[in-house]
Structure 1
């Protein structure tokens, strides 16, 4: 959410600069400040934390496949954003691009708040149950006893 805020502020600066180029001289400190704060927000949240937790948030039965899909999806989105940035810049302008990416950041924050499951304090069996994964080892052990 902070990343979206800093991108909105950066877009606001570019809008001011487009209206009156004199704002570039008065508020010269804004672009590096908002950009640096964007990277700080990224590096304390989405950046390293998501990659560090990626291998631990999925149950063992689907971990390899889920991590592979998540990493592939992440890299594909980065590739698409990189390859289309120039065309979007020409079509929309820098102000609207900053606001567009800020909107994506806000949508991602809302998505995480509403749909990402909180597994804090839950056992592995409960987490697997919430993903709809059967605990095969427990079933095998109970079948052997009967």
Structure 2
């Protein structure tokens, strides 16, 4: 399926993709990717872009070591899981050979918190309709 998206005075036709993302306490997981649920904002752009996400002029290191994993009961308290979602989107789209798509997200939270946080998490992830960002040096439009 294709979807027309108005994008800065032009119409862009994007493939529709349904992406499942599991927002785990330890790992972010998609059908084709998994990485540790850690994000660190960098003060400057680094030369090694292997795990760097650039969004709205800021740079974030994605992944890291198990010691860096900070379990959050409420994943909406800061932007960490939003940034991790962007990295998951990019990694999964890249695995599918794409860098742009009209995406429908199917998300998962830890079972213990799903019922109580589902609505707030949906609002948290849906706060922007169109996203442009870079991951690992590659531009993505979602």
TM-score range, shorter chain: under 0.3
Q: Give 1 or 2 for the bigger CA radius of gyration.
A: 1
> What is the TM-score when the length of structure 1 is the normalising length?
0.23
Structure with the larger RCO, 1 or 2 (CA within 8 Å, 6+ apart) = 1
- The structure with the largest strand share of the pair is 2
- The structure with the largest helix share of the pair is 1
> What is the TM-score when the length of structure 2 is the normalising length?
0.23
